[in-house]
A = this chain, B = another copy of it.
Amino acid sequence: MAGPLTGIVVLDLGQVYSGPYCALLLAHLGARIIKVEPPPAGEPLRSRGESEASGESFNFQLLNGGKESLILDLKDAAGLDAFRQLAQRADVLVENFAPGTTARLGIDYPAVSGINPRIVYASVKAFAADSVSSGLRGMDLTVQASSGVMSVNGYPDGPPLRCGPSLVDFLGGAHLAMGILAALFERSVTGRGQSIEVALQDAVIPTLASNLSGWLTDPSAPERTGNRHGGMLESPYNTYPAADGWVSVLCLTEAQWRGLCELIGRPDLRDDKELATSAGRVARMHMIDEVVGSWIIERTAAEAAEALQRAGVPAAKIATLGQLFSGEMARSSPMIQRSDEAGGDATYTFGSPVRLGNHPPRRSGPVPSLGQHTAAILESLSQGGADGR
């Protein structure tokens, strides 16, 4: 079979990142994804930022290649009826509406499980139903603020700073996909579905492990540590200017530290017993940063990173999006898949980070235009629901 989820039908009611990313991960596992979009313009990401003349926004393309697009007005009786027929036949429903929306539409878990007890009904919300923030709205930025993420990003003497990547939304989507698979696994034994919920705030909290450990160790220390370790518990752990860029370096193990000392010609530091533990190195962090920094600044970033890697030390030069997207990543990674469609512009869709030994990486299908599959899906329903079964 094409993937572990071959034959599984997913109704993707997702918007923007977390819900659509979850459904994209399921698509790469072989599931059929029916993206249910509202009239007249589809989900908000379709036209975000860019002119409508140029087709779907890049954001939308990245998350939605290979899905089918079905326009349904869920506020309309005929639309709701078609949705219920689909839900009766589907295996999974994914939604990340604002709190209360599915109940208002009449498609919350009690309603949908009533017509299909086998369905796995998966929701992302900003905050858990049992948290003090239950019911509040939140997207990536909001939860970066509320979770402590922004409080630990930036410089000790500067204000809180948003993390550049949308880590919150994508952690939410990945955890939701995991929950769906757990529920499908359980259903293969019990025959019953269940609801799954992931709160964005909960999904990002584990990423603060270093910061929380630092706070538990010394609650008075600055929460923002710039380029240093989030809990100030490792050294070397920093980003150093090279002759032509920057290099990030850390040593977690003693072997890595010894390898670094030998590479930079400092056997005295290698043999210094005080520096043989991370606590000992942290106590002399400024000296270590100066020693490592003065070795790196005399080399190009690529030379320094390569020599450090040969010495067994995790190190990398800092790459720009431009370098990655137009160079290495575009050529060698199945993570950003470019499709050149006849007569149209190129489109880009994310691949899956999950490689399965039994299945080759899947190429994403084309990005659906709004409502492209509406007629075919509604027709299959009227013919008794042959959709994919």
Contact = CB atoms under 8 A, between A and B. Distances in A.
**Interface of chain A, main secondary structure:** mixed
A297 interface: no
Interface string A210-251: 111101110100011111101101100101010000111110
Given A153-B165, A176-B354, 9 more contacts: A25-B178, A44-B253, A47-B277, A50-B217, A145-B316, A148-B324, A154-B161, A163-B164, A223-B320
A-B pairs, top 7 by smallest CB distance, nearest first, are: A49-B233, A152-B164, A181-B181, A195-B357, A165-B207, A145-B248, A202-B353
Nearest to A213: B58
Contacts of A336: 205, 212
A5 B335 CA distance: 30
Nearest to A346: B216
Contact of A182 (B5, B165, B278): B5
B151 A63 contact: no
A57 B217 CA distance: 9
A144 interface: yes
A319 interface: yes
Nearest to A121: B357
Contacts of A47: 277
Contacts of A319: 145-148, 151
A130 interface: yes
6 contacts: A163-B163, A164-B211, A164-B230, A167-B171, A181-B181, A194-B356
Nearest to A130: B332
Contacts of A320: 148, 151, 223
A207 B162 CA distance: 13
A33 interface: no
Nearest to A146: B316
- For A150, A195, A219, A312, which residue has the most chain B Cβ atoms within 10 angstroms? A150
A194 B230 contact: no
A162 B248 contact: yes
B335 A185 contact: no
Interface in A131-183: 131-133, 136-139, 141-155, 159-167, 169-172, 174-179, 181-183
A342 interface: no
A196 interface: yes
A154 B62 CA distance: 24
Given A165-B163, A175-B174, A198 B355 contact: yes
